[in-house]
């Protein structure tokens, strides 16, 4: 029975104003059970004020095989960082 329960990914927001961060995964029969299990597994030590659970099957992930094509081209594009540019004198609010 237990092997049939789907996998859920758990996201916890630790404080108001911060975003939800992935903390791990768990098994549950449905969303309500996943939320309860997430509460018991991932917020035992007051880690959060808000929980998201997402079916792991719903997440489309980038493939490790495509890592080079996906991410390496950004490596030498230093002009994409704001620090590449000198701020002209007299410009405020930058």
Partner 1 sequence: MRNPLQDYVLALADDALIAAQRMGEWIARAPQIEEDVALGNIGLDLLGQARSLLTYAGTLADPVRTEDDLAYWRDEREFRNVHLVERSWASAFGEHDFAVAMARLLVLSTYQHELYGALLASTDETVAAVAAKAVKEVAYHHEHAALWVVRLGDGTPVSHERMQAALGSEWRHVDELFDGSYVDAALLADRVAVDPATLRPAFDRRAGEVLAQATLTVPDVRPAVGGGRRGVHTEQMGYLLAEMQHLTRSHPGATW
Q: Applying CB under 8 A, which residues contact partner 1? A: 1-2, 5, 26-29, 32-33, 36-37, 40-41, 44
- Smallest distance from partner 1 to CB 2, Å: 5
Between 32 and 69, whose beta carbon lies closer to partner 1? 32
Between 14 and 37, whose beta carbon lies closer to partner 1? 37
- Smallest distance from partner 1 to CB 10, Å: 11
Between 22 and 24, whose beta carbon lies closer to partner 1? 24
Please return the burial class of 34, using the count of CB atoms within 10 Å of its CB with bins 0-12, 13-18 and 19+.
buried
Which residues lie across from 12 on neighbouring strands? 21, 51
State which H helix or E strand residue 91 sits in. none
- Smallest distance from partner 1 to CB 50, Å: 16
Backbone angles phi, psi at 69, to 5 degrees: -65, -35
11, 22 contact by CB (below 8 A): yes
């Amino acid at each position: 029975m237990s092997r049939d329960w789907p996998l859920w990914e758990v996201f916890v927001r630790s404080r108001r104003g911060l975003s939800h961060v992935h903390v791990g995964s768990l098994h549950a029969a449905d969303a309500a059970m996943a939320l309860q299990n997430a509460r018991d597994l991932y917020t035992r030590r007051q880690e959060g004020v808000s929980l998201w659970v997402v079916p792991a099957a719903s997440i489309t992930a980038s493939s490790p095989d495509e890592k080079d094509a996906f991410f390496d081209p950004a490596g030498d594009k230093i002009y994409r960082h704001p620090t590449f540019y000198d701020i002209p004198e007299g410009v405020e609010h930058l």
